[in-house]
Amino acid sequence: MVAATPLTVTTAVKQEFGFRVSDFRRFRSTAMLATIWGFSLAAIIPLLFVFYFVTSKGVGGLNWDFFTALPAPVGQEGGGMANAIWGSLMIVGMAACIGVPVGVLTGVFLSEFGEGKFAATLRFTVDLMTSVPSIILGLFIYTILVVPMNGFSAYAGAVALAVIMFPIVAKTTEEVLKLIPDHIREAGLALGIPRWKVIISIVLKGSVGPVATGVILAVARVMGETAPLLFTAFGNSFWSESPSQPTATLPVAIYQYAISPFKQWHEQAWAGALVLVMIVFFANLITRVIMRGSGVKRSR
Protein backbone atom coordinates (compact mmCIF):
# COMPACT_ATOMS: atom_id res chain seq x y z
CA MET A 1 0.00 0.00 0.00
CA VAL A 2 2.72 2.38 1.06
CA ALA A 3 4.82 1.48 -1.92
CA ALA A 4 1.87 1.71 -4.25
CA THR A 5 0.88 5.26 -3.36
CA PRO A 6 3.73 7.15 -5.07
CA LEU A 7 3.30 4.97 -8.11
CA THR A 8 -0.35 5.91 -8.47
CA VAL A 9 0.42 9.58 -7.96
CA THR A 10 3.18 9.39 -10.57
CA THR A 11 0.84 7.80 -13.03
CA ALA A 12 -1.95 10.21 -12.24
CA VAL A 13 0.32 13.23 -12.52
CA LYS A 14 1.83 11.94 -15.74
CA GLN A 15 -1.58 11.34 -17.23
CA GLU A 16 -2.94 14.67 -16.20
CA PHE A 17 0.02 17.02 -16.60
CA GLY A 18 2.41 15.07 -18.74
CA PHE A 19 5.40 15.29 -16.36
CA ARG A 20 6.97 13.10 -13.70
CA VAL A 21 6.13 13.27 -10.00
CA SER A 22 9.60 14.56 -9.10
CA ASP A 23 9.00 17.52 -11.42
CA PHE A 24 5.67 18.11 -9.77
CA ARG A 25 7.25 18.06 -6.30
CA ARG A 26 10.01 20.41 -7.37
CA PHE A 27 7.43 22.76 -8.80
CA ARG A 28 5.37 22.63 -5.62
CA SER A 29 8.44 23.28 -3.46
CA THR A 30 9.46 26.26 -5.59
CA ALA A 31 5.92 27.63 -5.54
CA MET A 32 5.75 27.43 -1.74
CA LEU A 33 9.15 29.07 -1.34
CA ALA A 34 8.15 31.84 -3.74
CA THR A 35 4.97 32.41 -1.72
CA ILE A 36 6.90 32.66 1.54
CA TRP A 37 9.39 35.10 0.00
CA GLY A 38 6.57 37.10 -1.53
CA PHE A 39 4.68 37.54 1.71
CA SER A 40 7.85 38.34 3.65
CA LEU A 41 8.66 41.09 1.15
CA ALA A 42 5.09 42.33 1.38
CA ALA A 43 5.57 42.63 5.13
CA ILE A 44 8.71 44.75 4.71
CA ILE A 45 7.24 47.08 2.08
CA PRO A 46 5.24 49.28 4.48
CA LEU A 47 8.33 49.71 6.66
CA LEU A 48 10.46 50.70 3.68
CA PHE A 49 7.79 53.16 2.55
CA VAL A 50 7.61 54.71 6.00
CA PHE A 51 11.38 55.16 5.99
CA TYR A 52 11.33 56.54 2.48
CA PHE A 53 8.53 59.06 3.01
CA VAL A 54 9.68 60.22 6.42
CA THR A 55 13.22 60.70 5.16
CA SER A 56 12.37 62.38 1.88
CA LYS A 57 9.80 64.73 3.39
CA GLY A 58 11.56 65.34 6.68
CA VAL A 59 15.14 65.84 5.65
CA GLY A 60 14.36 69.26 4.13
CA GLY A 61 13.17 70.65 7.46
CA LEU A 62 16.21 69.45 9.38
CA ASN A 63 18.84 72.00 10.30
CA TRP A 64 20.77 73.11 13.34
CA ASP A 65 17.89 75.29 14.52
CA PHE A 66 15.52 72.37 14.53
CA PHE A 67 17.51 70.78 17.36
CA THR A 68 18.34 73.96 19.27
CA ALA A 69 15.56 76.52 18.78
CA LEU A 70 12.05 76.87 20.14
CA PRO A 71 9.07 76.75 17.77
CA ALA A 72 8.67 79.98 15.84
CA PRO A 73 5.36 81.88 16.00
CA VAL A 74 2.97 81.39 13.09
CA GLY A 75 4.09 83.28 10.03
CA GLN A 76 7.72 83.49 11.02
CA GLU A 77 10.39 81.48 9.27
CA GLY A 78 12.65 79.00 11.07
CA GLY A 79 12.25 77.77 14.58
CA GLY A 80 12.73 74.21 15.83
CA MET A 81 11.51 71.55 18.15
CA ALA A 82 14.29 71.57 20.73
CA ASN A 83 11.82 71.64 23.60
CA ALA A 84 9.85 68.72 22.20
CA ILE A 85 12.93 66.59 21.55
CA TRP A 86 14.27 67.24 25.02
CA GLY A 87 10.80 66.78 26.56
CA SER A 88 10.35 63.41 24.87
CA LEU A 89 13.75 62.17 25.99
CA MET A 90 13.13 63.34 29.54
CA ILE A 91 9.62 61.90 29.83
CA VAL A 92 10.59 58.56 28.29
CA GLY A 93 13.68 58.47 30.52
CA MET A 94 11.59 59.04 33.64
CA ALA A 95 9.03 56.51 32.41
CA ALA A 96 11.80 53.93 31.95
CA CYS A 97 13.09 54.61 35.47
CA ILE A 98 9.67 53.64 36.83
CA GLY A 99 8.45 51.11 34.28
CA VAL A 100 11.60 49.01 33.78
CA PRO A 101 12.32 48.05 37.42
CA VAL A 102 8.65 47.38 38.13
CA GLY A 103 8.32 45.40 34.91
CA VAL A 104 11.48 43.34 35.38
CA LEU A 105 10.62 42.51 38.99
CA THR A 106 7.06 41.57 38.02
CA GLY A 107 8.47 39.33 35.30
CA VAL A 108 10.87 37.72 37.81
CA PHE A 109 7.99 37.13 40.20
CA LEU A 110 5.80 35.58 37.50
CA SER A 111 8.57 33.34 36.22
CA GLU A 112 10.16 32.29 39.53
CA PHE A 113 7.21 32.29 41.93
CA GLY A 114 4.43 32.27 39.39
CA GLU A 115 2.21 29.55 40.81
CA GLY A 116 -0.88 30.09 42.84
CA LYS A 117 -3.93 32.30 42.55
CA PHE A 118 -2.29 35.68 43.07
CA ALA A 119 0.29 35.09 40.34
CA ALA A 120 -2.38 33.81 37.96
CA THR A 121 -4.42 36.97 38.55
CA LEU A 122 -1.36 39.14 38.11
CA ARG A 123 -0.43 37.37 34.87
CA PHE A 124 -3.95 37.89 33.54
CA THR A 125 -3.83 41.56 34.53
CA VAL A 126 -0.49 42.05 32.79
CA ASP A 127 -1.82 40.39 29.63
CA LEU A 128 -4.90 42.57 29.77
CA MET A 129 -2.89 45.75 30.31
CA THR A 130 -0.81 45.20 27.17
CA SER A 131 -4.04 45.43 25.20
CA VAL A 132 -5.72 48.35 26.98
CA PRO A 133 -5.86 51.28 24.50
CA SER A 134 -3.26 53.85 25.49
CA ILE A 135 -5.78 56.70 25.33
CA ILE A 136 -7.68 55.07 28.18
CA LEU A 137 -4.50 54.84 30.27
CA GLY A 138 -3.97 58.54 29.51
CA LEU A 139 -7.45 59.37 30.77
CA PHE A 140 -6.80 57.26 33.85
CA ILE A 141 -3.61 59.17 34.69
CA TYR A 142 -5.45 62.40 33.94
CA THR A 143 -8.00 61.51 36.61
CA ILE A 144 -5.59 60.33 39.27
CA LEU A 145 -2.64 62.70 38.71
CA VAL A 146 -3.42 65.71 36.50
CA VAL A 147 -6.65 66.68 38.25
CA PRO A 148 -5.32 66.44 41.82
CA MET A 149 -2.06 68.17 40.86
CA ASN A 150 -4.01 70.96 39.19
CA GLY A 151 -2.22 70.83 35.91
CA PHE A 152 -0.51 68.93 33.13
CA SER A 153 3.06 67.88 33.84
CA ALA A 154 5.98 65.85 32.58
CA TYR A 155 5.60 63.72 35.71
CA ALA A 156 2.07 62.73 34.74
CA GLY A 157 3.27 61.98 31.20
CA ALA A 158 6.07 59.80 32.55
CA VAL A 159 3.70 57.85 34.79
CA ALA A 160 1.32 57.28 31.88
CA LEU A 161 4.14 55.97 29.69
CA ALA A 162 5.48 53.85 32.56
CA VAL A 163 2.07 52.20 32.89
CA ILE A 164 2.25 51.34 29.18
CA MET A 165 5.84 50.06 29.44
CA PHE A 166 5.52 47.92 32.52
CA PRO A 167 3.34 45.10 31.16
CA ILE A 168 5.49 44.82 28.01
CA VAL A 169 8.68 44.53 30.06
CA ALA A 170 7.05 42.15 32.56
CA LYS A 171 5.77 39.85 29.83
CA THR A 172 9.11 39.69 27.98
CA THR A 173 11.05 39.13 31.21
CA GLU A 174 8.74 36.32 32.27
CA GLU A 175 8.94 34.57 28.89
CA VAL A 176 12.71 34.93 28.70
CA LEU A 177 13.40 33.68 32.25
CA LYS A 178 11.16 30.70 31.68
CA LEU A 179 13.54 29.62 28.91
CA ILE A 180 16.21 28.92 31.54
CA PRO A 181 15.61 25.29 32.49
CA ASP A 182 14.77 24.43 36.10
CA HIS A 183 17.80 22.21 36.51
CA ILE A 184 20.03 25.28 36.11
CA ARG A 185 18.29 26.85 39.11
CA GLU A 186 18.66 23.59 41.03
CA ALA A 187 22.36 23.47 40.18
CA GLY A 188 22.68 26.89 41.79
CA LEU A 189 20.72 25.87 44.87
CA ALA A 190 22.76 22.67 45.12
CA LEU A 191 25.93 24.77 45.41
CA GLY A 192 24.56 26.33 48.56
CA ILE A 193 23.59 29.60 46.90
CA PRO A 194 20.44 31.23 48.35
CA ARG A 195 17.48 31.35 45.98
CA TRP A 196 17.47 35.14 45.59
CA LYS A 197 21.12 35.06 44.54
CA VAL A 198 20.43 32.23 42.12
CA ILE A 199 17.69 34.34 40.54
CA ILE A 200 19.79 37.51 40.25
CA SER A 201 23.25 36.16 39.48
CA ILE A 202 22.42 33.09 37.42
CA VAL A 203 18.90 33.30 35.99
CA LEU A 204 18.58 37.05 35.38
CA LYS A 205 22.24 37.57 34.50
CA GLY A 206 22.01 34.73 32.00
CA SER A 207 19.16 36.53 30.26
CA VAL A 208 20.45 40.12 30.21
CA GLY A 209 20.45 40.29 26.41
CA PRO A 210 16.87 39.20 25.76
CA VAL A 211 15.55 41.22 28.73
CA ALA A 212 17.32 44.32 27.38
CA THR A 213 15.73 43.71 23.98
CA GLY A 214 12.33 43.69 25.67
CA VAL A 215 13.14 46.94 27.44
CA ILE A 216 14.20 48.59 24.17
CA LEU A 217 11.02 47.46 22.45
CA ALA A 218 9.01 48.97 25.28
CA VAL A 219 10.98 52.23 25.11
CA ALA A 220 10.49 52.38 21.33
CA ARG A 221 6.80 51.75 21.76
CA VAL A 222 6.25 54.60 24.27
CA MET A 223 8.56 56.97 22.40
CA GLY A 224 5.86 57.30 19.77
CA GLU A 225 2.81 57.32 22.06
CA THR A 226 0.71 60.43 21.49
CA ALA A 227 -2.74 59.88 22.93
CA PRO A 228 -1.81 59.43 26.61
CA LEU A 229 0.50 62.46 26.48
CA LEU A 230 -2.31 64.72 25.24
CA PHE A 231 -4.00 64.24 28.61
CA THR A 232 -0.91 64.30 30.77
CA ALA A 233 2.14 66.21 29.50
CA PHE A 234 -0.11 68.19 27.16
CA GLY A 235 2.50 70.18 25.23
CA ASN A 236 4.22 73.51 25.43
CA SER A 237 5.50 76.03 22.89
CA PHE A 238 8.31 77.03 25.22
CA TRP A 239 10.81 75.40 27.53
CA SER A 240 9.20 73.96 30.63
CA GLU A 241 10.67 75.41 33.78
CA SER A 242 10.29 72.14 35.62
CA PRO A 243 8.84 68.66 35.06
CA SER A 244 5.77 69.73 37.03
CA GLN A 245 4.70 71.96 34.14
CA PRO A 246 3.12 71.12 30.80
CA THR A 247 5.90 69.76 28.60
CA ALA A 248 6.29 69.45 24.85
CA THR A 249 6.96 66.02 23.37
CA LEU A 250 7.81 64.98 19.82
CA PRO A 251 4.69 62.92 19.07
CA VAL A 252 2.34 65.59 20.40
CA ALA A 253 4.26 68.32 18.58
CA ILE A 254 4.09 66.31 15.36
CA TYR A 255 0.37 65.86 15.85
CA GLN A 256 -0.26 69.56 16.49
CA TYR A 257 1.91 70.67 13.57
CA ALA A 258 0.45 68.14 11.19
CA ILE A 259 -3.19 69.16 11.78
CA SER A 260 -2.35 72.85 11.49
CA PRO A 261 -3.23 74.68 8.26
CA PHE A 262 0.29 76.05 7.76
CA LYS A 263 2.53 74.56 5.11
CA GLN A 264 5.70 75.44 6.96
CA TRP A 265 4.46 73.63 10.07
CA HIS A 266 3.79 70.53 7.98
CA GLU A 267 7.43 70.52 6.99
CA GLN A 268 8.44 70.76 10.63
CA ALA A 269 6.10 67.87 11.48
CA TRP A 270 7.86 65.69 8.90
CA ALA A 271 11.25 66.66 10.31
CA GLY A 272 10.00 65.78 13.80
CA ALA A 273 8.79 62.42 12.54
CA LEU A 274 12.22 61.75 11.04
CA VAL A 275 13.94 62.61 14.33
CA LEU A 276 11.54 60.32 16.23
CA VAL A 277 12.18 57.41 13.87
CA MET A 278 15.93 58.02 14.12
CA ILE A 279 15.89 58.04 17.94
CA VAL A 280 14.07 54.71 18.02
CA PHE A 281 16.32 53.28 15.32
CA PHE A 282 19.55 54.24 17.06
CA ALA A 283 18.31 53.15 20.48
CA ASN A 284 17.68 49.73 18.96
CA LEU A 285 21.00 49.64 17.16
CA ILE A 286 23.08 50.70 20.15
CA THR A 287 21.49 48.12 22.44
CA ARG A 288 22.10 45.38 19.89
CA VAL A 289 25.76 46.33 19.65
CA ILE A 290 26.23 46.49 23.43
CA MET A 291 24.43 43.22 23.96
CA ARG A 292 26.30 41.36 21.26
CA GLY A 293 28.43 38.66 22.82
CA SER A 294 26.61 38.70 26.13
CA GLY A 295 23.46 36.92 27.16
CA VAL A 296 22.50 33.29 26.79
CA LYS A 297 24.83 31.24 24.67
CA ARG A 298 23.22 28.49 22.73
CA SER A 299 24.11 25.22 24.37
CA ARG A 300 24.72 23.37 21.15
Partner 1 sequence: MQVKTSKASKTTTAANSLESDNSESKTILTIRDLNAYFGDFHAVKNVNMDVDANEVVALIGPSGCGKSTYIRTLNRLHEEIDGATVSGEVVLNGENIYAGHADPVSIRTKVGMVFQKPNPFPSMTIFDNVVAGLKLAGIRKRSVLEETVERCLKQAALWDEVKDKLKEPGMSLSGGQQQRLCIARTLAVNPPVVLMDEPTSALDPISTSKIEELITELKTQVTVIIVTHNMQQASRISDRTAFFYLGELIEYDETKQIFMDPKEDRTERYISGRFG
We find the least distance from the C-beta atom of residue 207 to partner 1, in angstroms, to be: 8
205 binds partner 1 (CB under 8 A): yes
Number of residues located near partner 1, criterion CB under 8 A: 28
188 binds partner 1 (CB under 8 A): yes
**Torsion-angle region of residue 18: left (phi > 0), alpha (psi -120 to 50) or beta?**
left
- Phi, psi of 282, deg, nearest 5: -70, -35
Q: How many helices (H) and strands (E) does the chain have?
A: 13, 0
- The three-state secondary structure class of 245 is coil
| Helix (H) or strand (E) run with residue 112 in it | helix 82-112
| Helix (H) or strand (E) run with residue 148 in it | none
CA trace torsion 44, 47, 51, 52 (10° rounding): 60
* Residue from 31, 36, 187, 286 in contact with partner 1 (CB under 8 A): 187
120 binds partner 1 (CB under 8 A): no
We find the least distance from the C-beta atom of residue 266 to partner 1, in angstroms, to be: 49
* Residue from 22, 68, 121, 294 in contact with partner 1 (CB under 8 A): 294
We find the least distance from the C-beta atom of residue 300 to partner 1, in angstroms, to be: 8
We find the least distance from the C-beta atom of residue 83 to partner 1, in angstroms, to be: 42
Q: Tell me which residue of 102, 225, 255 sits closest to 161, measured CA to CA.
A: 225
283 binds partner 1 (CB under 8 A): no
* Residue from 37, 143, 181, 282 in contact with partner 1 (CB under 8 A): 181
**Torsion-angle region of residue 75: left (phi > 0), alpha (psi -120 to 50) or beta?**
left
* Residue from 18, 46, 192, 261 in contact with partner 1 (CB under 8 A): 192
25 binds partner 1 (CB under 8 A): no
Q: Tell me which residue of 129, 124, 114, 261 sits closest to 199, measured CA to CA.
A: 114
Which span sits near partner 1 by CB under 8 A: 33-41, 91-99, 127-135, 203-211? 203-211
Residues in contact with partner 1 by CB under 8 A are: 115, 180-181, 183-184, 186-195, 197, 201-202, 205-208, 294-299
